[in-house]
Amino acid sequence: GQQVMQIPQYQHVQEGEDFTTYCNSSTTLSNIQWYKQRPGGHPVFLIQLVKSGEVKKQKRLTFQFGEAKKNSSLHITATQTTDVGTYFCAGLRGSTLGRLYFGRGTQLTVWP
């Protein structure tokens, strides 16, 4: 079954609006990673969060890892058309030798 749940599946926003996608795991994670896949492209690593309660920023993107290390979020402030794509979270469990459990992704569309 699905180990990591991600919502929403789709999000359509007007350029300049904010966007958030959420991930939730049924088990505690060692770390969580975020990937972006542009239309027609392949997933590309964005960031990794390791510590409980960790918050990291990349320009307009803010990533959070929950205190219990079971949930995470990606927030984009003031979306731009270049943000279009599918965002995946992926959790690593301690003893899985690097196997990630991917969420199903959130497909973001940005209207100009």
Q: Which residues bind other proteins (CB under 8 A)?
A: 6, 9, 31, 33, 35, 41-45, 48, 88, 90, 92, 95-100, 102-105
Close Cβ partners of 56 (under 8 Å, ≥ 6 residues apart): 47, 49, 62, 63
Q: Which is nearer to other proteins, 19 or 35 (CB)?
A: 35
Q: Please state, in angstroms and rounded to a whole number, the distance separating the CA atoms of residues 3 and 94.
A: 14
Q: Smallest gap, in angstroms, from Cβ of residue 40 to other proteins?
A: 9
In 3D, which of 18, 25, 21, 22 has the Cα closest to residue 4? 25
Q: Please state, in angstroms and rounded to a whole number, the distance separating the CA atoms of residues 16 and 39.
A: 20
Q: Which is nearer to other proteins, 44 or 68 (CB)?
A: 44
Beta pairing, strands 106-111 & 85-92: antiparallel
Q: Which is nearer to other proteins, 35 or 63 (CB)?
A: 35
Q: Smallest gap, in angstroms, from Cβ of residue 103 to other proteins?
A: 6
Q: Which is nearer to other proteins, 71 or 86 (CB)?
A: 86
Q: Smallest gap, in angstroms, from Cβ of residue 5 to other proteins?
A: 11
